[in-house]
Amino acid sequence: MKFNSKYLPPFLSLSSAIALLSIAYFLEFFLNLIPCDLCLQQRGVHFLIILASIICIVSINFKKINTLLDFLIIILWFTSSVFAFYHFGIEKKFWSGFSSCTSKINFNENTLNNILSTDTLRCDNPQFEILNISLAGWNSLVSLILFTIYISLLYLFKKRKQ
């Protein structure tokens, strides 16, 4: 059985998103790194990439649908990169995040109750870094690389057909 090269971009996308989510869940459940709100939202983008990649693989012979899904996957990888970079910027104090994600506290009568009822961590305090880059920073870099690879593969395969 010969592997058709048009399957490569969505398979790469699918396997990469699964790998990124697997790492995130491993860190959460086995190393007890609790995700913040932005971390959880970034996972949602990766789940959408998985869904779009599976549909793209299944509908590989339907050119119009497949082209639309390729475009969607490209947008999702770019969104993942931008979103993770935004999170990285909050962690490095380049800019402030939304109010539920940063440590700026406005004390009022419900402040203590709100703090005690919150299960997630602040987004501006990374728990884990590799080479002084947080996991959000690495996610941004990897997502940007995958965005570039996906576009490059589609361009190469399209050029090869001509």
What distance in Å separates the CA atoms of residue 66 and residue 158, rounded to the nearest whole number? Answer: 13
Read off the pLDDT of residues 11-34 as tens digits, 9 standing for 90 and up.
999 999 999 999 999 999 999 888
DSSP-assigned letter for residue 123: T
What distance in Å separates the CA atoms of residue 22 and residue 9, rounded to the nearest whole number? Answer: 20
Give percent of the chain with pLDDT exceeding 90.
Answer: 53
Residue 74 has pLDDT above 90, yes or no: yes
Please state which of the ranges 93-102, 113-122, 124-133 shows the lowest mean pLDDT.
113-122
Residue 133 has pLDDT above 50, yes or no: yes
Tell me the domains of the chain and their CATH numbers: 5-96+125-161 (1.20.1550)
β-bridge mates for residue 121, sequence order: 36
pLDDT at residue 90, rounded to an integer: 92
E-strand stretches of 33-157: 129-130, 133-134
Residue 1 has pLDDT above 50, yes or no: no
Q: Which of 100, 127, 128, 97 is nearest to 115 (CA)?
A: 100
What distance in Å separates the CA atoms of residue 118 and residue 7, rounded to the nearest whole number? Answer: 43
Which H/E stretch holds residue 46?
helix 37-58
Task: Supply the mean pLDDT for the chain.
Answer: 85
What distance in Å separates the CA atoms of residue 20 and residue 15, rounded to the nearest whole number? Answer: 9
Read off the pLDDT of residues 62-71 as tens digits, 9 standing for 90 and up.
989 989 999 9
